[in-house]
Amino acid sequence: MMTRVLLSAIGAFLLASLLNKLMIPVLRALKAGQSIREVGPTWHNSKSGTPIMGGLMFIAAALVCMLVNLPAMTDTTVFYVFLMSACFGFVGFLDDFAKVKHHRNLGLTSVQKILLQMAFAALFVYLMYRKGSLTSMLYIPFLNRIIHIHPIAYVFFSMFVVVGTVNSVNLTDGIDGLSASVTIPVMAFFAAAALAVDKWELAILPAALIGGLAAYLCYNWHPAKLFMGDTGSLFLGGAVCSLAIALDMPLVLIFVGFVYIVETLSVILQVSYFKLTHGKRLFKMSPIHHHFEMCGWKEEKIVLVFAAVSAVMCLVGWFSVQGLIGR
């Protein structure tokens, strides 16, 4: 089954590469370009007009790889995970479409986004519960302990994890190559974890996303020729949290999602400090990758450092769940 997983990564890379090459001219012709936020770094203005919705290509490649492997699957939980991810990707697509249609950086309102996200999170939890893939047992990393919590409490906990993770991943997509570079190690972790617990079917999606994201990076590395848009970033957020829940290890996101958490905390701290001090800033700009930009770091340096941190924390996460994997 390892062969199937590896072939899925390779196949997704080749298919996504082809789709990227074919679709970039189409997106340009449709004027499906990025609008740059006025409050962002001024040098980002040069990125205005870069095609967005690049996430559609690696999403399509991942789906094809899953369908190719479907006849050999005995457990179809991975399709629930994909459905969940696709629902969030759909929210992102609506947001991207609104931006392109109205030629502005703002798409859906914050209220519209959060309501849709909560609805889809509830749907995923319900479907996983009906399938019998959702338990009320919470594994504690490193301590190798499982605690039982009330099923209703676990449902709300899962919804919190889903919505929080999705938005954290979305915040990371702020400079060329960052989101994909940070997420590839995370997907490698989940692919390895799925194989380690004899759930090769679940490993197909993260493996395919590794290939698809690698192909996307060929066009998204600075200076980017393509952006994944909210379509791609919200899909990735959905995939990250859904895989963690499907593998019964949501708390491992503290480690493998470390970069996402830091990005989110930087925004929360910035806003809180700004309000408490009546206008002073804790960082030069948030999320924190923009702070490093304002400090003079090149985009490539930020991406490499953040990706390295993500890879190291994924290794930490791997050691934290050895008790669960070894069961």
Strands 137-140 and 145-148: antiparallel
The DSSP H or E segment spanning 44 is none
Q: What is the pLDDT of residues 25-59, one digit of tens each?
A: 998 887 766 665 555 565 565 677 788 889 999 99
DSSP state of 247: T
Number of domains forming the structure of the chain: 1
User: What is the reported pLDDT for 193?
Assistant: 97
Work out the end-to-end distance of the chain between its first and last CA atoms, rounded to an integer number of angstroms.
20
**Please, what is the Cα angle at 288 between 287 and 291, to 5 degrees?**
110
Q: What is the pLDDT of residues 106-162, one digit of tens each?
A: 667 888 888 999 999 988 888 888 877 777 788 999 998 989 888 888 888 989 999
Q: Count other Cβ atoms within 10 Å, centred on residue 42.
A: 8
User: What is the reported pLDDT for 41?
Assistant: 63
Print the domain residue range for 88.
Answer: 2-325
Would you tell me the crossing angle of helices 151-172 and 229-246 to the nearest 10 degrees?
A: 140
Please state the pTM of the whole predicted model.
Answer: 0.93
User: What is the reported pLDDT for 317?
Assistant: 97
2 vs 203: CA distance, rounded Å = 9
User: What is the reported pLDDT for 136?
Assistant: 78
Does residue 109 contact residue 233 with C-beta atoms inside 8 Å?
A: no
47 vs 72: CA distance, rounded Å = 44
Regions of the chain short of the pLDDT cut 50: none
Does residue 4 contact residue 204 with C-beta atoms inside 8 Å?
A: yes
Residue 46's nearest CA partner among 307, 304, 299 is 299
8 vs 158: CA distance, rounded Å = 28
Hunting for tokens 């179809």 — which residue is that?
76
Residue 245's nearest CA partner among 78, 61, 8 is 78
- Please classify residue 216 by burial: count the beta carbons closer than 10 Å to its beta carbon, then call 0-12 exposed, 13-18 middle and 19+ buried: buried
